[in-house]
Structure 1
């Protein structure tokens, strides 16, 4: 029955699109519709930016068929399709009709594109009700978007930033003391720490000034994160930093583990599936893992917030700007894997995109449905793009948005985003020197500074681990509630900074 419905729908769609008088977007025939010129990237970006400024987000489903097809024209015609029996029908194991729905949708595409499945099907996700396909005809896009069981049809490889001018291009979502690519959040170099930016603690570790601001050292008398596993979705961890490797148990850190995974495919071709490994080739992921859970070591290096928590790290992208097919595919895979990992309670991601991505949204909802507490960066970029406010996926109801503020005030850090979606803040920029947060460097026995909403997010994830370790029987909502109650503005919520800075000691008492 359903297969017949789709065939009828396909024929109906073609008849409608061939109409000379009733097409909702123009009055030309199907042939002329297929041949009309695609919008330019400047035109596409102007509409996206208008939506970001007015609504704080952009959704492909809000655009017309020609707009979506034009974006595909500029991005290799790669399409991400979300389907299901309802808006929330995300998971294949809970969706008995998913195989039939997908097969019929593929039949529809095959009919309209006049192509075999093997020529246009890139991947069918094994966990989520999503698939990626090649679609070249605007009429196919129009028919597919009208189909009953479609949740979204989105360009899967459109790079908004690539087509912006240099002056308006997003910088990144974090800042490092030095970087190999100032537009990506990456950096390898080591920087000696100013003595004013840390205090020493047994057995010979450095406590970053920001942890003192949030009463983390006092909280350690009650909880160090033991028994809690944090998942880090980022650029991986350095193979050259043994404190995040063979010496993860060092000093007063013991009995815990770090697991490294790689799901990022370094290729412009969507059909390539071989990853480039688990190692951080950027530096950003190493900094985030350090901020969350670096050991309380005896090497004179910075300690992480939850220094007895376990870590599961994912190399999900090359850098922090999630533009392009492989980056978004990698993040989707990381979240679904962490969602299925029963040991993981907390997920931290300090990467993002300026607007919503369907497949990433599906994966985050999947992980949230498994009880995970998910922290995401509100965004860090140049002043030219801070108009965006909180970025995706920190905009999602299933995530907790975090941003950075300057020491001793509620003024956002120089490049940090803020807005009504923010839940918590972390003091991560010094008021006088402007220095950021000390972390272990990409290389052994070296240190660095890292800033932005990125480090604020990883730091907050570490604090959540302290609370959950202290109260292991609590649910995600109870942990989050305690963190809110322990923050500066509670019981109120600031319009730009949420509940504000967290008092870690109060949170674990």
Structure 2
């Protein structure tokens, strides 16, 4: 029986209906929801109903499209946290002191202090030193209206609002989305044993990964992983990272996630995985090739830098969004990191995470993101954020039936660049093999999550073979080595990558 760590977009049941009727105006919605005044505080179900309508009819949602009342109501329900991206359009970050931006930021903070009648200490919650982002405490709808009248604000978002769930659904967002720490015994048909007694997943054969190892094993390339961390109970992603044919490399683990329900908490949770998802992604990218009859990673000689930036795969919490933003900046600042793998996401874009991605991209990073994973009857939903951004490379998973059949839980769309075979069309729909959460355990992992981590590993093989190449050269080689190149499919991009061709 397959076990899919339902990587991204694991809201479980995203929408109670997949109908796409004409989008109603907010006046219509207000009537439907019995809103009596534009200054009434909307309830969480009322806000979610409005979000649902946008998602079902346009495939996207943006807080800039809603009224002051909706934005204010979500801000109030989200601990009064309003995240503000300031500056001109596209001005996501700064690399040196900028008096104009400092003045803009100061004016915004002063206006909020005046409107709210509070001190600087009470108003300012977070001031990012690199990204043009601040978090302020806002309680009054008049403050929202005044801020929306400014020309030097890129976005206003209630980043503390973590209550979205489909209207009329009894299934809520869970902290365990995409999480599973239980291992599974591998079926002998799902791997081969290679020297010196490592297990190679059947999925690797679909992309000639073993053959590529005669040209490159990922040595001297560093991959950054932003996920739920790495299990302290898995020695092959810890003290035994250098083992067997894997040698002379490093693994580093950091944490930017704050595990607290209080927005004002500032103590990070450390690097250790408490979910299982990050451990599976790390294994897919870089687990060692050794003599212990354990699954081997795609780039088994690469370096790995892991950030526990989120509790699970769904970025619906204030601290998760801030944690991912901070991890992106940290990896962007590292000259040794070439590749970033992100098998996490959300149905719509998150401003401060978007700014973090743009910063990391400006530093030359090749960023892979998962196209989306959910239940099969929500597969109509398009590519999710951040894979929907032009600065990221979107990846999705398909089955092995030879016709590019979408995997049971995978999303696709026009943003997809590459596909990875990660699910059998028969034989119980088994997926790829990885290390388990605990020492001695093995596991299965699927969805667009593992497809993304696999692609990041292949990119590491290419960059190790051609260490002087730029990001664009590596990306072009991946495209040229894919099945559809030079053409591009409308939903599957350039298709399956041939890792052997990519490193020759």
Partner residue of 1:480?
A: 475
Partner residue of 2:145?
A: 142
Counterpart CA distance in 1 for 2:178 and 2:410 is: 13
**TM-score scaled to structure 2, two decimals?**
0.90
Partner residue of 1:331?
A: 324
Matches within 5 A, 1:317-328: 317-328=310-321
Partner residue of 1:369?
A: 362
Q: 1:77–1:136: 8 Å Cα contact kept in structure 2?
A: yes
Q: 2:85–2:156: 8 Å Cα contact kept in structure 1?
A: yes
Return the match for 1:72 from 71, 75, 78.
75
Unaligned runs of 5+ in 2: 1-25, 28-35
CA deviation profile, 1:466-502 (whole Å, cap 9, x unmatched): 1111111111111111111111111111111111111
Partner residue of 2:397?
A: 404
Partner residue of 2:131?
A: 128
**Matched residue SS, 2:467:** coil
Partner residue of 1:224?
A: 217
Deviation at residue 94 of structure 1 after TM alignment? 5.7
Partner residue of 1:28?
A: none
Counterpart CA distance in 2 for 1:164 and 1:446 is: 39
Q: 1:266–1:275: 8 Å Cα contact kept in structure 2?
A: yes
Deviation at residue 53 of structure 1 after TM alignment? 3.3
**Matched residue SS, 1:115:** coil
Between stretches 324-333 and 378-387, larger displacement belongs to 378-387
Partner residue of 1:419?
A: 413
**TM-score scaled to structure 1, two decimals?**
0.89
Counterpart CA distance in 2 for 1:148 and 1:158 is: 25
CA deviation profile, 1:9-66 (whole Å, cap 9, x unmatched): xxxxxxxxxxxxxxx99xxxxxxx9983123333322332333234332111122212
Counterpart CA distance in 2 for 1:50 and 1:383 is: 20
Counterpart CA distance in 2 for 1:166 and 1:90 is: 39
Counterpart CA distance in 1 for 2:82 and 2:117 is: 17
Counterpart CA distance in 1 for 2:45 and 2:485 is: 44
Return the match for 1:442 from 433, 437, 446.
437
Matches within 5 A, 1:136-285: 136-162=139-165, 164-166=167-169, 184-285=177-278
**Matched residue SS, 2:328:** helix
Counterpart CA distance in 1 for 2:42 and 2:135 is: 23
Partner residue of 1:99?
A: 102
Give 1 or 2 for the bigger CA radius of gyration. Answer: 1
Unaligned runs of 5+ in 1: 1-23, 26-32, 172-180
**Matched residue SS, 2:193:** strand
Partner residue of 2:22?
A: none
Matches within 5 A, 1:488-503: 488-503=483-498
Partner residue of 2:336?
A: 343
Deviation at residue 253 of structure 1 after TM alignment? 0.5
Q: 2:183–2:443: 8 Å Cα contact kept in structure 1?
A: yes
Counterpart CA distance in 2 for 1:122 and 1:240 is: 36
Label 1:89 to 1:426 Cα distance change in 2 as closer, same or farther (>3 A): closer
**Matched residue SS, 1:159:** coil
**Matched residue SS, 2:379:** helix
Partner residue of 2:85?
A: 82
Label 1:497 to 1:383 Cα distance change in 2 as closer, same or farther (>3 A): same
Counterpart CA distance in 1 for 2:224 and 2:452 is: 12
Counterpart CA distance in 2 for 1:57 and 1:443 is: 38
**Matched residue SS, 2:479:** helix
Counterpart CA distance in 2 for 1:384 and 1:208 is: 28
Counterpart CA distance in 2 for 1:448 and 1:233 is: 20
Counterpart CA distance in 1 for 2:164 and 2:109 is: 31
**Matched residue SS, 1:203:** coil
Deviation at residue 73 of structure 1 after TM alignment? 2.6
Deviation at residue 163 of structure 1 after TM alignment? 6.0
Label 1:369 to 1:431 Cα distance change in 2 as closer, same or farther (>3 A): same
Counterpart CA distance in 1 for 2:491 and 2:368 is: 17
Between stretches 274-283 and 53-62, larger displacement belongs to 53-62
Counterpart CA distance in 1 for 2:87 and 2:166 is: 33
Deviation at residue 67 of structure 1 after TM alignment? 1.7
Partner residue of 2:379?
A: 386
Label 1:63 to 1:161 Cα distance change in 2 as closer, same or farther (>3 A): closer
